[in-house]
Amino acid sequence: MRRDEGTITVMTIGFLLFLGLLAAVVVNASAAFLQRQQLDNLADGAARSAADGLSTDVFYRTGQVELDGSQAQRLVRSYVSRSGVRVVRVVTDGDEVRVRLERTVDLALAPPGFRSRTTIVSEATASLRVAR
């Protein structure tokens, strides 16, 4: 006859370990998602701020709306300067500006052997148009 004593203990420990890892994944994913939403909002605001960088020389000379790349860069950097966010890229293309931001986030729960930090990225686009 086979003895089954103690097998439920091993199964219970395994199940509790699985639940613990699942809880860590859910908590970390939720925290990263919330941080990304905040970064998305910041990127949207930075792009809108950069869209205020109208090249007045081109506008007054030709009547065309064109963004000044250096002014857009300066406006984005001043918009995100106090938030601990890295400005990766600010690209102007005529009347449009694209902004890419990064932030390093500390994860709430880091099981042994897993990284305790991750990087989140957000991109936003804004356009400047003349109302007629």
Provide mean pLDDT across the span 60-73.
78
C-alpha gyration radius of the chain: 24
In a domain, 7, yes or no: yes
Domain that holds residue 48: 3-127
In a domain, 14, yes or no: yes
The Cα 52–Cα 96 span in angstroms is 11
Proportion of the chain above pLDDT 90, given as a percent: 33
In a domain, 84, yes or no: yes
The answer to whether residues 51 and 65 touch, using CB atoms and an 8 Å cutoff, is no
> What 3-state class would DSSP assign to 82?
coil
For residue 4, what pLDDT band results from cuts at 50, 70 and 90?
A: low
Domain count, the chain: 1
In a domain, 111, yes or no: yes
Provide mean pLDDT across the span 25-33.
89
pLDDT digits (tens, 9 = 90+) for 7-26: 788 889 999 999 988 998 89
The answer to whether residues 24 and 109 touch, using CB atoms and an 8 Å cutoff, is yes
Q: From the centroid of its chain, how far is CA 28?
A: 15
Residue partners of 129: CB distance under 8 A and separation at least 6: 65, 95
- pLDDT at residue number 102: 94
Which pTM value belongs to this model? 0.76
